[in-house]
Every structure is written in structure tokens, then in C-alpha cells.
Amino acid sequence: MSADLVIDVHGLTKSFGKVTVVDHFDIAVPRGAIYGFLGPNGSGKTTTIRMLCGLLSPDAGEGTCLGLDVRREAPAIKTQVGYMTQKFSLYEDLTIRENLDFVARMYGVKNRRARVDAALADLGLAARSGQLAGTLSGGWKQRLALATCLIHDPQLLLLDEPTAGVDPKARRDFWDEIRRLSKAGVTVLVSTHYMDEAIQCDFITYIAYGRKLIDGAASRIPTMVGLHTWRAEGENLAALEERLRQEPGVEQVARFGAALHVSGTDAAALEAVVKRFEAEGGQRWSEIPAGLEEAFIYLMAGARDNFARAAA
């Protein structure tokens, strides 16, 4: 494994019954990066994360996490990563401080009281330290969960849809903290459904139905897919959308607020369609760079459901 890679795995595979949930998955995560893990529900993101942190043993594949073999050294990996699950999994009948203290004892943290005090201060939890965890709002539960992930000073965080169900301000505050941790050298692998979060990642992997579709620097993903996009604004967009879907050269039409984003991989064919519709009047057209969301929709359209494959 390169010293600059915190995660370096190849061919990870996991099946449950007839369904291959993760199918020969590769990923290389550089040290200190924020790595986005995008995919729909059932795409295998959680299963992959659990294999990376030592909670699940892969059926096939190999590689390392924090320099440790994901198959032979899983117990050691578990003690050295911070893993935040989708569902709040702390004790709701314990206070914030009691939860942090319990997790710190589980990890054998030295100077435990001082470390808990520091964690409370770092995440803005000190004033609520005596509050029962079960009475917290989604955003505060999220902060507590992140604090417990960090209590043993891991160099790798695995965050499984950490902002699901929290309000926009809590999401923004959470990402401010993630960026701060990244600047301090902590590597973060985070799964998300939100494109406004994806653009904050240094690198992105799209995964669908157990298979990796593409990965690379976040800024380069749309170019790697090869999409060209035009934006249409104006009246009668619903009728326009139906007509555009029938046109050769138009591979994707997606509604974005009060506009349509019309995409294709053949720039000349797409432009010819656009110019013809533009000449009719009624809408304003402009060429725009394809974004992560257009790329995601395009890639997902070509992916095949692994449950459908199993049932076939």
C-alpha cells in the first residue's frame, strides 16, 4: 500500500443469499481527503463501509485500511477508525457526557475525563452535557455521534449518511466540522444522497447496485462521463420535456426548479436539437457545464438492479 493511501482495496465482494450486494469493488482513498460515496438506497454503500472498518468479512477481494489487512486484521482496524452509522446508536437514557465517557472507556482512552471535556467543548456540547441523549434534536444527536467517533483520535472517519434527517443549518455546521478535521489530517469517507454535499468532497465514487460506476476528483466527474448540457427556461416546460425526450441526441432531460437541464454525450447532435427548439421561441436556452447531479442521473439510468439480476 502507498504511504499516501489510507484505504486501498481491490475486488471487495459480499453476497447475501443470491444477491451480490458488493461486486468486485475497488477504492483508493488518499490521506487527508474527503471522499464522497454516492449511490441510491440498496447500492451497497453501507456493506462496503462495514467491510472497510472490520465489521464484515468480504467473501472475496483484498486490500488494506490504515495499513492493516481488511481480511486478516479486522479487529485491529475496528479500534482505529471512527464509524458513524446511519441510525443514532448511542444510549438514549444516558446523558451526553455519560455516552462520551462510556465510549472513551471502551476504547481505553487515557486521561479520560480531560478527553471527554475536550470533546464536549470541540463540538459545542458542553452546555448540554447533562442532557439525556434521547431528548436531543436530530442535529444535536448528530454532533454527539460525531464526538463519540472522534473520542479516540482516529485518523480515518467512516460516515454513513451522517446528515440524513437533519435540518439545513445542522448539515452546514456538520460539514464545517468535517472540513476542519480534513485540514487537520483526518481522512473522511462519507456516504451521502445530497449533491450539495457531494460538491464539497475532494473525490467521489458513484456506486449503484453493488458496482462502482466511476470515481475521480469531484471537479472532473462530469467531464469523465462526457456529458454536455443546455439549460432551458421559460413557459410550457412540461410539454417541452416530453418533446425533447423523443429527440435523437438528447439522452437525458431533468427538471431543476424552474428550468430543464438537457444533456447528451454527442455535443454536435445535442446542439442541433437545441438550435431547432430555440428557433421556435418560447424558452431561453444557454449552454452550461454538466454538474455532479446530471452525471449521477445519467450513470444511474444505465445501472441494473442487483435484486433484479438475482430474481431473473
**Residues 157 and 258: beta-carbon distance below 8 Å:** no
Which pLDDT value is given to residue 169?
85
Q: Identify the CA nearest to 244 among candidates 268, 277, 269.
A: 277
Percentage of the chain modeled with pLDDT above 90? 71
* pLDDT tens per residue across span 146-167: 999 999 999 999 999 888 778 8
Work out the average pLDDT over 131-139: 93
Among residues 249, 253, 228, 238, the alpha carbon closest in space to that of 283 is found at 238
How long is the chain?
A: 312
Side chain identity at residue 161, one-letter code: E
pLDDT of residue 170 exceeding 90: no
Residue 5's pLDDT band, with cuts at 50, 70 and 90, is very high
What average pLDDT does range 53-80 have in this prediction? 94
Q: What is the pLDDT of residue 197?
A: 83
Contacts of residue 192, defined as CB under 8 A and 6 or more positions apart, other chains included, come to: 36, 37, 38, 161, 162, 163, 198
Domains within the chain, CATH numbers bracketed: 5-218 (3.40.50.300), 228-289 (3.30.70)
Rounded to two decimals, the pTM is 0.85
Q: How many CA atoms are closer than 13 Å to the CA of 200, on its beta-carbon side? A: 20
